[in-house]
Structure 1
């Protein structure tokens, strides 16, 4: 590793971890704030209007902005394949902070499920051995395969959110769409960060900045709807924080010329890391569903008050986390 690479990682890694901490705080605060307003329908476009002025939500906004700045710094100095997996640690920060906001102890099973998600992505990172630090998108038809796949996954998620009668599927759909849009935003922010390094006015000459200005807020709106529609924080946030870096990794490999270890043994290890993530998410969702059923008989110290408009079948929900 060269001296220049060492300096870049010295900046990128702390910035990514601190950014993840800010994002964790933002998720916990925003999830709590969405429960203080009337519950609307999935994909509610008026939710922002009801949230404006809520102190916790404003704290979440400030933490989001700081987290995005730190993420931008990390992406400016490190490859997507390094920065994006580190951002999944926001899941652990969010779980701990949500428990503090709710003044209860973390639930051990959900904490372990969250830890599995983080461990799976960490294993993926170690085995993949990311290299390259591209910040220029490929052009033309090279963008189409992944672009079509991401668009289809987003539309499927939104379809579940809009039309499913199952509360858990609605929240899962919102979480999937949010994770994809967050990962796409991160990938494009990597390009914007490189353009800023070339000149302060350079990003305004390219379409990527304007796409970020549309996709980023849309992802944020979906995340707020996800927070309100569900009940527990960790399960759906696990879906979002897993999809976000995985989409970022896909963008780095497909659109920016970054590379990863592609030997058969490495591919097996990377697939194993992905399996661990899936197991962690499944454990979280199962535990959340179990707690949702048992909740009416639990003590006030360990439960969230029932709120009007809540759906008992929302195992992927967010607020009131016991993680």
Structure 2
């Protein structure tokens, strides 16, 4: 890869990640400025759209996505994607600034663990880009669909039956799964569009994305609104999104992943690092909430 490509791709990816972190922090802050809504209640969006901070978050999201596309135009996903997960670190910093509190060292350390683990996992275990638009047959797609549906339902159930940090993490799990499904299916839509611009409109995948995508976004706003601290929930969402995407590539689209034992072992260790980071974030957020109930 030419050095000139990296000169463009790396700053674009990091700046895009910073903007996505700012977007998450702004949206999380704005959700706490309106009345709490029930899960998946669209009225929440009608309240948020009147908040300038939330609209600024949406603008930052669009700008971040544009920069991510620029980065991907100059470098492969294998280079760009690990840089994009740094949005979690940026989100923690911007969230602290918007809430007029100093950044917490433990929350920052937990975010770094999650980002490092995710980056290594994606480098070692990400399946190959096949560009396929055809779903494989057999029991694997059905099993994955049932598993993802069960995870989503379980997350929503926990958000209803539990309280505090557990409820927020339940919402985050459901959000991360829906985000991952949306990203995985968008690969199919993009592949269909490359073959024929009208092809996506003749297949059900696009319409599934049009339902699942907005549901995931609305759930993310519910998650932000109910969490006292942004980074624990965002870490779960950030981790599940690519992991679900990898699973969809493998079991729905027939992509192949590495079979090298060393790479598989490294990916497993990286996954444990991510889990450790989430545990650190959740535990620290719970402690801070108990110490300072009025954090906002």
Pair in the same fold by TM > 0.5: yes
Residue 109 of structure 1: CA displacement?
0.6
Residue 286 of structure 1 corresponds to 283
Give 1:106 shift. 1.2
1:294-309 aligned at under 5 Å gives the runs 294-296=291-293, 304-305=295-296
Are 2:136 and 2:253, in contact at CA under 8 Å, matched by a contact in 1? no
Residues 34-83 of structure 1, C-alpha deviations (whole Å, 9 max, x = no match) = 11112234444421122121001111222333445556677899887776
Matches within 5 A, 1:53-72: 53-68=50-65
Could you say which residue in structure 1 is the equivalent of 2:169? 172
Equivalent residue, structure 2, for 1:158: 156
How far off is 1:86 after superposition?
4.5
Quote the Cα distance in structure 2 between the aligned partners of 1:8 and 1:244.
Answer: 27
TM-score using structure 2 length: 0.87
1:292 Cα offset (Å): 0.7
**Residue ranges of structure 2 left out of the alignment (5+ in a row):** none
Cα deviations by residue, 1:271-318 (Å, 9 ceiling, x for unpaired): 10000001000000111011111115xxxxxx634xxxxxxxxxxxxx
Q: Are 1:88 and 1:118, in contact at CA under 8 Å, matched by a contact in 2?
A: yes
CA contact (8 A) 1:82 1:130 kept: no
Checking the alignment, whether the CA contact within 8 Å between 2:188 and 2:205 is kept in structure 1 is: yes
The separation in 2 between residues aligned to 1:183 and 1:76, in whole angstroms, is 22
Q: Are residues 67 and 213 of structure 1, via their aligned partners in 2, closer, same or farther at CA, if it must alter by over 3 Å?
A: farther
Distance 2:10 2:218 in 1: 28
* Alignment: residue pair count: 295
Alpha-carbon displacement from aligned partner over 1:97-134 (angstroms, at most 9, x marks no partner):
21222233211110000000001012213333653332
CA–CA separation in structure 2 for the residues paired with 1:205 and 1:229? 39
Following the alignment from structure 1 to structure 2, what is the Cα–Cα distance between the partners of residues 45 and 159?
Answer: 19
Indicate yes or no: 2:250 matched with 1:253.
yes
Following the alignment from structure 1 to structure 2, what is the Cα–Cα distance between the partners of residues 206 and 7? 39
Of the structure 1 ranges 117-126 and 269-278, higher mean CA displacement relative to structure 2 is found in 117-126
Cα offset, 1:11, TM superposition: 8.6
Give 3-state SS (helix, strand or coil) of 2:255's partner: coil
Give the structure 1 partner of residue 46 of structure 2: 49
Q: 1:88 to 1:266 in 2, by over 3 A?
A: same
**1:29-44 paired onto structure 2 within 5 Å:** 29-44=26-41
In structure 1, stretches of 5+ residues that fail to align are 297-302, 306-323
Q: How does 1:1-323 map to 2 (within 5 A)?
A: 17-68=14-65, 85-128=82-125, 130-141=127-138, 142-162=140-160, 164-296=161-293, 304-305=295-296
TM-score (ref. length: structure 1) = 0.80
Residue 295 of structure 2 aligns to a residue whose secondary structure is coil
